[in-house]
Amino acid sequence: MKHSIIRIFAALTMLSLCEAGSAAQPIQSATDQNSAQIVTFLFKIFDLKNAFIQTSLQEAANEPEIREVTQQALTSFDIADLASRLSQPVSQVLAPQEIKQCVAFIESKNGTAVLRASQEAASPNELPKYLDLLPQQEKHAAMEFFNSNCFKKTIEFMSSKEAKDIAKGYGSEIMCKYAKRTNTDMLNTLRRHGACQDT
């Protein structure tokens, strides 16, 4: 198995999204729903929610008050919400057949096996070890997925500036909403830092 492929894509996706405003983009079509399903699957198998949260907290490490607000606000992080915002641009970079193939894998027993392997792994770096334990047929299907145009194009998009901006915008939005709801003084502090200007 080509372990390096999985490790490279996992690291690339985590670093790209965690470096990453835009308004929410509601899902409007079946194609976008399928694209959101693909993004959600990648978030789950590479534990990108945790990576996003940890990176956000690290960025606020030198400002305890902002870090506290960030930590509380990120409890409302919703993978499905962020995936819906990423879904429309993902739909634009994938061909309909590529989306269909990815969704078919995700919804199959092979996709379920990969998801289960990712849940057993302590970190994305350990995922290859658990994929190696899969039956040969499931292992082969997993490698076909990781080598597919759908997977590669989605990862490439998630490494783009557009995806980073969407992710950053989502993180800022939930933090500003939390501050507005719970701490007006903190909201004003965030505004002085250039955030929450529309809140």
Task: Measure the CA angle with vertex 84, ends 19 and 182; round to 5°.
Answer: 70
H helix count then E strand count, the chain:
12, 0
pLDDT over threshold 80, residue 22: no
d(CA 47, CA 122): 10
Model pTM score: 0.82
| Residue at 48 is within a domain | yes
| Residue at 147 is within a domain | yes
Structure tokens at 166: 């969407």
| Residue at 197 is within a domain | no
| Residue at 198 is within a domain | no
d(CA 190, CA 199): 10
- Give 150-185 pLDDT, tens digit per residue: 999 999 999 899 998 998 889 889 988 988 998 888
Owning domain of residue 121: 3-192
Total structural domains within the chain = 1
